[in-house]
Amino acid sequence: MSQILEIVAIVQPKADYFDELVDRNLLTNFRETAKQIGVPPKKFVSFLLERKYLYRDKKGKLLASEGKNNGLFQLKECVNEKTKWSGVQTLVAPKGRETFRLLCVGISLSEEKDAS
């Protein structure tokens, strides 16, 4: 019985992490999305703000614009057990990652043409 308890203690953090990933349903935050599409995170957020995909609320939190969401973003309630923070976070959906990857490729190509 003690062996089973030891094994459970070892695998429990991994199971909790996996459950969190499944709960997020393949959603990623802005920093992770930027890394995946090869754009610096600050430039990525600026890109989204300039093109009105996102806006900042009174507290400075990034939220998806209603007219441009179309399944690109999803709001998730989040809780951080370590810091005791809880709130709502805007995350990028798989459709959004692909959309922004294509848009950012197009922009970087046009910048290269302008530079030459």
Strand partners, 64: 54
Res 105: pLDDT? 79
Total-model pTM: 0.68
Say if residues 37 and 101 touch (Cβ distance below 8 Å). yes
The more confident residue out of 1 and 103 is: 103
> Is the pLDDT at 7 greater than 60, yes or no?
yes
Q: Where are the domains of the chain?
A: 27-115
Question: Between residues 115 and 15, which one has the greater pLDDT?
Answer: 15
Residue 115 has pLDDT above 60, yes or no: no
User: CB neighbours of 102 closer than 8 A, spacing ≥ 6?
Assistant: none
Q: What is the pLDDT of residues 51-86, one digit of tens each?
A: 999 999 998 999 999 888 889 999 888 888 888 888
Cα separation, 109 vs 15, whole angstroms: 42
Closest-CA residue to 36 (of 86, 84, 102, 87): 102
